[in-house]
Amino acid sequence: MAFTVTVEPRSTKPSKRFPLTVQLDQDPATVGALKSAIASKVKLDVHRQRITTPDRKLLDDDAKPLGEFGVKSGDTLEIKDLGPQIAWKTVFLTEYFGPLFIHPAFYFGSKLFYGKTFEHSRMQKVALVLILAHYAKRELETLFVHRFSSATMPWFNIVKNSGHYWGLSGILLAAPLYGPWNGAARLIGTSRDSDSWIYGWAALWAYAELSNLITHLNLASLRPKGTKVRQIPKGYGFNTISCGNYFFETIAWCAFTGLTLNWASALFTAVAVAQMYVWAVKKHRRYRKEFGSAYPKNRKAMFPFIA
């Protein structure tokens, strides 16, 4: 027997496309099949569709049968057009690309940006290597490690996110960092020119970046490719907190700030850590709500034993 549902718009504005009655012959009828049927009838891309039950229960897993959400044949569902979308992967690749060319531009373009040429200090050289390694790692993780729960996000996010990375982590961080005031002539004989200072902070940064990579691999292993399965994070980086990836990235940026002793580095680190903490708290609450008593009670959101 065919599975039939009626789809109405969530908005009170008149719609030429909805309400729409859809008949699904697939058994069991899945969320993905419903979205595909809607797309074929009204030319609304599946990634723009947000379908909920009248009591606002989100049908968020395309592979699940509609019955698992309590939807029966003959029921009425609600739909919202999310607007133009862009792939998460595209957004990530674009935003991380900015610092990869902005930092070398300031480092090698001394004459253009600072009006003079000068010898760069060891601190500046190491800082450039660390920045490039960090964002190259992020690009590679986006291509080969991360598994996204949603295929797309609103297209405007590419502007907003790129503004953060290209502006704050790109221009604002690079311009003060690679200037002559941090050059070899200015830093010679100071702590920022000593082996212990430079390689000590670089070693801490490397530890944090490697640990961050391990947590990303750990998270990716929890979600089989092509699914939206969510599981409780466990193992390295997750024994005492919900977001070990954010914790280790915090250590990495603190190490970079320690290496450079630069106000722009400190500002970017403060903004980045504050944003990650907001995300961590949201994820922590979602884990507790989703997994209930099965979720470890003593875990904190982002900082072990603290918060």
Does residue 306 lie within any of the structural domains?
no
As a whole number, the mean pLDDT across the chain is 93
Q: Domain check: are 109 and 151 in the same one? A: yes
Q: Domain check: are 20 and 139 in the same one? A: no
Does residue 34 lie within any of the structural domains?
yes
User: Does the pLDDT value for residue 38 go beyond 90?
Assistant: yes
* Of 50, 83, 116, the domain-final residue: 83
| Antiparallel, parallel or unpaired: β 85-87 and 76-81 | unpaired
pTM above 0.85, yes or no: yes
Q: Domain check: are 124 and 143 in the same one? A: yes
| Antiparallel, parallel or unpaired: β 76-81 and 3-9 | parallel
The answer to whether residues 34 and 5 touch, using CB atoms and an 8 Å cutoff, is: yes
Task: Give residue 138's pLDDT.
Answer: 97
Q: Domain check: are 147 and 261 in the same one? A: yes
pLDDT confidence bin for 35, thresholds 50/70/90: very high
* Of 56, 83, 110, the domain-final residue: 83
What is the distance between the alpha carbons of residues 112 and 122, in angstroms, rounded to a whole number?
21
Lowest mean pLDDT among 53-67, 72-86, 284-298: 53-67
User: Does the pLDDT value for residue 58 go beyond 70?
Assistant: yes
The answer to whether residues 97 and 131 touch, using CB atoms and an 8 Å cutoff, is: no
Task: Give residue 90's pLDDT.
Answer: 93
pLDDT confidence bin for 148, thresholds 50/70/90: confident
Domains in the chain, number: 2
Q: Domain check: are 210 and 155 in the same one? A: yes
**Gyration radius from the chain CA atoms:** 24
Q: Domain check: are 257 and 218 in the same one? A: yes
Share of the chain above pLDDT 90, in %: 72
Output the CA–CA distances (angstroms, integers) from residue 30 to 26, 103, 267, 298, in the order listed: 8, 48, 47, 37
Q: Domain check: are 119 and 262 in the same one? A: yes
Q: What domain range is 16 assigned to?
A: 3-83
Lowest mean pLDDT among 62-66, 200-204, 252-256: 62-66
Task: Give residue 129's pLDDT.
Answer: 98
Does residue 7 lie within any of the structural domains?
yes
Q: Domain check: are 73 and 100 in the same one? A: no
Q: Domain check: are 37 and 152 in the same one? A: no
Cross-strand bridge partners of residue 85: 154
Does residue 71 lie within any of the structural domains?
yes
83-122 pLDDT, tens digit per residue, is 899 998 999 999 999 999 999 999 999 999 999 999 999 9
Does residue 303 lie within any of the structural domains?
no
Task: Give residue 106's pLDDT.
Answer: 98
pLDDT confidence bin for 189, thresholds 50/70/90: very high
Does residue 116 lie within any of the structural domains?
yes
* Of 63, 83, 103, the domain-final residue: 83
CB atoms within 10 A of CB 292: 8
Does residue 107 lie within any of the structural domains?
yes
- Residue 202: HSE in the Cβ half-sphere, 13 Å Cα cutoff: 19
Q: Per-residue pLDDT averaged across 122-147, rounded?
A: 97
Q: Domain check: are 95 and 221 in the same one? A: yes
User: Does the pLDDT value for residue 27 go beyond 90?
Assistant: no
Cα-Cα-Cα-Cα dihedral of 85, 89, 93, 96, to 10°? Answer: 90
Share of the chain above pLDDT 70, in %: 100
232-291 pLDDT, tens digit per residue, is 999 999 999 999 999 999 999 999 999 999 999 999 999 999 999 999 999 999 999 999
Task: Give residue 163's pLDDT.
Answer: 87
Q: Domain check: are 150 and 271 in the same one? A: yes
Does residue 104 lie within any of the structural domains?
yes
Q: Domain check: are 49 and 103 in the same one? A: no
| Residue 18's CATH number | 3.10.20.90
Q: Which two tokens stand for residue 64?
A: 């699940």
Task: Give residue 11's pLDDT.
Answer: 77
Task: Give residue 1's pLDDT.
Answer: 65
